[in-house]
Every structure is written in structure tokens, then in C-alpha cells.
């Protein structure tokens, strides 16, 4: 039993489930409507009979000759031209106040279903013929308002019951046929509506990490299914972009790691091939140390970006005096600046503070200052400015130099991207500096942008939001 339930729950296609629910809902609607229709139809027919009986009795009473009652102490019908004369399903009688039958129409004398003489409608059963009759009784009054007799009219309900039964039979036969056609139509429509989902399934089966180029290219209406197909294509676009970025990242990381390792291996082998004096050994060790330092920086950068992607970076913000803090960082770069004959100028208010993680912000501005020193023209200037703006603090680092061509702007923050690969290899850059800077700024809820004009140098602006306290 449980296996059957599991099969019905998990193995029935959704188009079949939709069709079944559609047919069940339609069946419930038709059944409710059929019950209502039969009830209303029966009620309308009986109301018509009641109205006819009342009109007939009222007209009959109006046509009675009450003068005869004074002479003969009884009344008789005058049925000539009556609307119900000759109707086999209609009978009428005239009785006295004591129940004595004065006159009848047709064979009403032998009928036993009349019941008591009470004003209004009753439904009586003819036990002999097992037939229902609708009876209407109305008193006959004299001039003083005293009841002298009763007129009773009865109409057989057989035609009504037969009509209701015929309607019930028609509905009983018609509803299953309608549901059958509705089921086929519902299955066709469900199959057509869910066809893009089948395409999604087939496309998903064909997609692998090596080939994410397949798309649904849905051309139908933008309903729920169309929106799903469009969203699926957009998801594939993001996945393909992410996979390509990861492939490029992995390839670039392997290349960046291989270069210093190859240099290290080559220099070690050359050094071991022949004996050298202490000065030469010291020089080689310094060169090896530089390559090891490059490997350490690269490994730290890769580790930082990996933790950032996995949202595992620690974040411990605090108030930082920006003026004192940047002056300490700039002081560390002064020896490198003097080597390139660069002048570092600062314009930072003394009381300006920011709210952030000191370790991450140190890494952010060290990367930006290092880039500014690497790519500034010899004999030029580097300017560090900090200003307080509504809702944020801006730190602006500008260096003189050749600038960055416009076509590189959209790729500047990509990992391992270099504006000039030869120049980067000479300066030891790995192409991770700006990528790391952007992740740190995002971690603080801020933004970073780069502006440059050919021959006018580069300006990097860091936007750090003001703390909400």
C-alpha cells in the first residue's frame, strides 16, 4: 500500500496530475451546478402548477351561483370553457363545510388523496397509483363572510417528476462525456504549457562543466513557464561566466605560481653548478628571497580572495583616526618613493576618522599606494587626499603618469588582469591588487572607482560609508 502511495506521489507526471486536478475540479463544479439546476427546474415547474391551481380555483369560485345555495342548500360547478377541462392530470371538487361532496370534475369522486379541507397548498400521495398530487384548497364564503363550502383542485406531479428525471438522466449521461473531453483538452493544454519544462530538463541533462553554451532560447509568451525558461537561460549565462572566470583564475594562478617557482629552480640549479664567492652567493640568495616574497604575496592574495568568495573573512570594525593611520602607511613607502624620485603629498584633515577593520583597510591602502608607486612616472607626484562627504568618507589617491586607456576600464577589477603585461612582469605585479581592494571596500559596504585620462595619470577614489550610530 505504501509503495502504491509512493508511486502515485512521485511517479505520476505533473501534466497528468494537473489534468486530474482540473477534471476533479470541473466535475465538482458540474455536480454542484447540476444539483442547483435540478432543484431550480423542479421548483419552477411546481411554482407554475401552484399558480395555475390558484388561478383556476379563484375563477371557479367567482363563477359559482350562490343564489342556488339559498334555494337548494348546495353548489355546483360551471366548468364550461375552463382552462383545465379535459386535462387527465387535473381534478377538482366542491364540498360543503361539513365535508359532503357537492360536485366534482372528471372522476374525482373516487380519489382518496384530497386530505383535509384547509386553506393553502398540500402535497398528497395517491397510494393506489403511487403518484404525487399537488392540492390547493380555498373556502367559499357567503355574503356575511361565513364559510359555506370548499373548492379543492389537484394537479398530478407526474409530468414534473418525469421532466426532472429526464433532466437528471441527461445530466448523468452528459457530464461524464463533458469531463472526458475536458480531460483530453486539459492534458493537451498541460502538455503544451509544460513543454518548455521538458526542454529545460533535456537541456540540463546535456549540460556539463565543459560545455555550458546550450540555451533554451524560449520564443513563447512570457507567462510563468516563459519566465522560468528565461530565468534558466540567465542562470546558465551566470554559470558559464562563473566557470570561465574560475578557469581563467585557476589558469592564471597556476601561471603566476609557476613563474617564480621556475625562476627559483633555475637560479638554484645555476648556483649549484659551480662554486661562487660569498658575495655572489649573497646576491643569489637576495634574488631567491625576492622570488619567495613574490610567492608569499601571491599566495596571501589568493587565500584572501578564496576566503572572500566563501564569505569567511573576519570583520572587526572600530573607529580609526585616518590622518595618523595614513601617515604611518605613507612613511613606509617613502624609501621606494625616493628611489623613483617621487614626491608624496597628503591633504588629510587631522580629526577625520573612519569606521572599519584596521587589518583590511591597511591591506587596501597598501595595495593602492603600491600600485601608485609602481606605475607613476619617475620624478612625478603622488597625492593622497581625504574628504568628508554627506554619508561617506572619500580617500583619493592620484599619481602622475601615462594613465590607463579607456578600453581597459571594465576589466580593471578582474583577477589577474593587467593593463600592460610586460610592465607588470617587470614590476612584480600579479594583477590581484585592485581585485583585493574591491573586495575589501565591498566588505565595508563602500565602493571604489578609477578615473584616468591619457597622459594625466590615474585617480583611485575609495568611498567608505559613514557609521550609523
Q: Quick one: CA dihedral 235, 236, 237, 242, positive or negative?
A: positive
Residue 238: strand, helix, or coil: helix
Higher pLDDT, 11 or 192: 192
Question: pLDDT tens digit string along 138-164?
Answer: 998 877 778 888 888 888 888 888 888
In angstroms, the Cα distances linking 96 to 56, 120, 238 are 19, 17, 98
- Distance between CA atoms of 224 and 193, rounded to whole angstroms? 10
Q: Where are the domains of the chain?
A: 16-165, 224-308, 318-465
Question: pLDDT tens digit string along 228-245?
Answer: 778 878 888 887 777 776
pLDDT grade, residue 10 (50/70/90)? Answer: low
With 0-12 / 13-18 / 19 or more C-beta atoms within 10 angstroms meaning exposed / middle / buried, residue 133 is buried
Question: pLDDT tens digit string along 166-212?
Answer: 988 888 888 888 888 888 888 888 777 777 777 777 777 777 666 67
Answer whether 142's CB lies under 8 Å from 148's CB. Answer: yes
pLDDT grade, residue 40 (50/70/90)? Answer: very high
- Distance between CA atoms of 66 and 265, rounded to whole angstroms? 139
Residue 426 has pLDDT above 70, yes or no: no
Compute the residue count for the chain: 469
Q: 224-308 in CATH: which number? A: 1.10.287.130
The three three-digit cell numbers of residue 441, written as one number: 571596500
The CATH number of domain 318-465 is 3.30.565.10: yes
Give the chain's end-to-end CA distance (angstroms, integer).
63
Residue with cell 386553506: 119
Q: 16-165 in CATH: which number? A: 3.30.450
The winner for highest mean pLDDT among 94-108, 359-373, 406-420 is 359-373
Amino acid at each position: 500500500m505504501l509503495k502504491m502511495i509512493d508511486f502515485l506521489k512521485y511517479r505520476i507526471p505533473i501534466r497528468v496530475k494537473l489534468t486530474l486536478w482540473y477534471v476533479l475540479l470541473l466535475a465538482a463544479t458540474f455536480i454542484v451546478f447540476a444539483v442547483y439546476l435540478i432543484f431550480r427546474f423542479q421548483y419552477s415547474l411546481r411554482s407554475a402548477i401552484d399558480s395555475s391551481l390558484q388561478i383556476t380555483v379563484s375563477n371557479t369560485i367567482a363563477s359559482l351561483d350562490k343564489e342556488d345555495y339559498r334555494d337548494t342548500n348546495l353548489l355546483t360547478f360551471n366548468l364550461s370553457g375552463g382552462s383545465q377541462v379535459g386535462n387527465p392530470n387535473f381534478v377538482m371538487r366542491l364540498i360543503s363545510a361539513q365535508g359532503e361532496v357537492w360536485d366534482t370534475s372528471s372522476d374525482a369522486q373516487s380519489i382518496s388523496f384530497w386530505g383535509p379541507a384547509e386553506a393553502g397548498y398540500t402535497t398528497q400521495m395517491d397510494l393506489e397509483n403511487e403518484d404525487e398530487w399537488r392540492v390547493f384548497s380555498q373556502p367559499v364564503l357567503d355574503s356575511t363572510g361565513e364559510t359555506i363550502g370548499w373548492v379543492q383542485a389537484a394537479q398530478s406531479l407526474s409530468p414534473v417528476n418525469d421532466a426532472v428525471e429526464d433532466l437528471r438522466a441527461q445530466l448523468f449521461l452528459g457530464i461524464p462525456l463533458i469531463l472526458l473531453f475536458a480531460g483530453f483538452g486539459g492534458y493537451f493544454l498541460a502538455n503544451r504549457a509544460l513543454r518548455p519544462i521538458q526542454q529545460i530538463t533535456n537541456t540540463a541533462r546535456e549540460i556539463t562543466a565543459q560545455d555550458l553554451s546550450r540555451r533554451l532560447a524560449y520564443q513563447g509568451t512570457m507567462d510563468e513557464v516563459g519566465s522560468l525558461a528565461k530565468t534558466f537561460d540567465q542562470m546558465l549565462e551566470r554559470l558559464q561566466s562563473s566557470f570561465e572566470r574560475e578557469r581563467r583564475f585557476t589558469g592564471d594562478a597556476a601561471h603566476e605560481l609557476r613563474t617564480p617557482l621556475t625562476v627559483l629552480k633555475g637560479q638554484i640549479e645555476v648556483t649549484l653548478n659551480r662554486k661562487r664567492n660569498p658575495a655572489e652567493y649573497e646576491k643569489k640568495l637576495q634574488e631567491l628571497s625576492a622570488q619567495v616574497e613574490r610567492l608569499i604575496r601571491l599566495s596571501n592574495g589568493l587565500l584572501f580572495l578564496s576566503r572572500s568568495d566563501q564569505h569567511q573573512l573576519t570583520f572587526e570594525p572600530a573607529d580609526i583616526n585616518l590622518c595618523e593611520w595614513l601617515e604611518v602607511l605613507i612613511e613606509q613607502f617613502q624609501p621606494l618613493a625616493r628611489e623613483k624620485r617621487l614626491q608624496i603629498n597628503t591633504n588629510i584633515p587631522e580629526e577625520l576618522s573612519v569606521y572599519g577593520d584596521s587589518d583590511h583597510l591597511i591591506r587596501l591602502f597598501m595595495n593602492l599606494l603600491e600600485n601608485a608607486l609602481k606605475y607613476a612616472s619617475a620624478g612625478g607626484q603622488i597625492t593622497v587626499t581625504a574628504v568628508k562627504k554627506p554619508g561617506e568618507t572619500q580617500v583619493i589617491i592620484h599619481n602622475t603618469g601615462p594613465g590607463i586607456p579607456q578600453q581597459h576600464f571594465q576589466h580593471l577589477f578582474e583577477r589577474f588582469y593587467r593593463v600592460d603585461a610586460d610592465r607588470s612582469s617587470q614590476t612584480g605585479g600579479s594583477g590581484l591588487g585592485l581585485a583585493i581592494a574591491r573586495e575589501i571596500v565591498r566588505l565595508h559596504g563602500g565602493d571604489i572607482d578609477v578615473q584616468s585620462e591619457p597622459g594625466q595619470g590615474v585617480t583611485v577614489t575609495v568611498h567608505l560609508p559613514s557609521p550609523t550610530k
